[in-house]
Amino acid sequence: MPISHTLADLLLHFARRLPHFARMWWSAVLNLAAQGLEQRHLVAWLASSSNYQKYTIDVGTNAGVWILIGLHDRRLAAVLAVLVTFAAGLVTIKPASAQQWNPFADLTTTNSSSDIGFTRNWQANPPPGYPTLSPANISATKEAIERYEKIVKGGGWKPIPPKKLAGGYNDPAVVILRKRLQLSGELDAGESWMPHQFDYSVETAVKRFQATNGLAPTGIVDKRTRAALNVTSKARLKQLKKGLSRIRQYTSKTKKGRYVVVNIPSAQIEAVENDKVVSRHAGVVGKVSRKTPILTSRVHELNFNPVWRLPPTVVSKDLIPKGRQMEKAGKDVLVKYGIDAYDGRGRKLDPEKIKWRSSMPHGLSYRQKPGKENPLGFVKINFHNGHSVYLHDTPSDSLFGRNFRAASSGCVRVHNVEDLAAWLLKDKDGWSKSQVIAMRESGESKNVRLKKPVRLILTYVTAWATADGVVQFRRDLYGKDGVGNAAGSY
């Protein structure tokens, strides 16, 4: 049922004229109820009001979740939301479910935003957002640095106590949490009449913090979120300064045109055209022990259904140890994984003649044919570099839904890689997303050179701000910021 502007204005006028005690009473009751209400009917009206800003995060139709954050007065917004809903006859009383929070039920019950499926979907399918290396981020990051210098000068923030906090909790730690979120800007400044209460305004502020720190916005202060909250303001300031320096290295190359950027700490890949993100992809980057290198190159070729030529690091650290282990158990690693071994003259060897405990395996080269077990998946994206790294698909996408995605040997795995491949080939006659998918389904091996190479940047940016004023932080995965372990431990 549509909500008229007349009704909206009337309710806004009514809510503002409520006596102070009445506003408190409405907030106390309705903050509890608001989380279980259907809010889709309120989006149009809230967005049309000049007194409010709407920040929505669309996590995909499968998740079916809309998060309203950033409202000018969140407590008033919660009251108005319920008043409008009641007035429009939209509320129906239902038993508590995964989508409704019952304040009288066990507080360990969570809503849909804390489901594992929601978290995985959020991590695997990030919204496009703003380019990490946009020239506009220079001035925005400078402003963020000024803000954080004031925070540091004022003494910073207190650490959040080691306990879980979520909607409905009443705990002294919420007071510390409120102050922490107010200092960094996720929660409006001002005193709360129920400071110990983890209410709707705190929950939405936590969601906003999580979304800008690379965490799924569940609204729950779990171990990872608490660790991110407890990184000191001094450390964050230092990261912002380093981020500014790093972004400056690239902005002369990112003002216009097309480029791909892999931000290693974010474990995300951006396809950018004329300073707009065309698509953003979850990625899997190198382990701490096998770091993805920082480099600039150009994508020049795509290999569809490629042969995997095992890089030296994988041979020495993975294949040979596994071969020795399996040999001891009477099994053959090459037979099990469908890998062929070749000597220095390019002759294919009989797997049974390879003695894994000798020095022989170190002098061989190894290849794996295209197929379901091939770790490159159906496409490999090539660019010239001295590290034997590349971007590629993967036969298993389970890692993309994780918060921590540093698990490769240095190469970068790309989720929904068919979109990136189609974008790279869009200037090539006869190539579209449907053609890319057809190559995946056919299993045909084919090498395709780009009509014009596309710039590729593998970079390491842990802190920056975007043109909308939002400050972003990511874990210091490889410890390059010099701020201690805390900034990389969540």
Residues with a catalytic annotation lie at 392, 411
Q: How much is the CA Rg of the chain, to the nearest whole Å?
A: 26
> C-alpha dihedral over 296, 301, 304, 308, to 10 degrees?
-60
Decide the pairing of beta strands 406-408 and 276-286. Answer: parallel
Contact between residue 138 and residue 250 where contact means Cβ atoms under 8 Å apart: no
Q: What backbone torsions phi and psi does residue 301 show, to the nearest 5 degrees?
A: -155, 150
Contact between residue 55 and residue 68 where contact means Cβ atoms under 8 Å apart: yes
In single-letter form, the type of residue at position 357 comes to: R
Contact between residue 355 and residue 336 where contact means Cβ atoms under 8 Å apart: no
Cβ contacts of 9 within 8 Å, gap of 6 or more: none
Name the DSSP letter for residue 114. Answer: G
Q: Residue 382 corresponds to which tokens in the numbers above?
A: 């090539």
SS3 label, residue 210: helix
Q: Quick one: how many helices (H) and strands (E) in the chain? A: 15, 16
Distance from the first to the final alpha carbon of the chain: 44
- Which of 281, 298, 302, 277 lies closest to 425 in space, CA to CA? 302
DSSP line for 15-57:
HHTS-HHHHHHHHHHHHHHHTTS--GGGHHHHHH-TT---EE-
Q: How far apart, in Å, are the Cα atoms of 200 and each of 74, 104, 173?
A: 8, 16, 16
> C-alpha dihedral over 459, 460, 463, 467, to 10 degrees?
0
DSSP line for 281-319:
EEEEEE-TTSPPPPEEEEEEEEEESPPEE--HHHIIIII
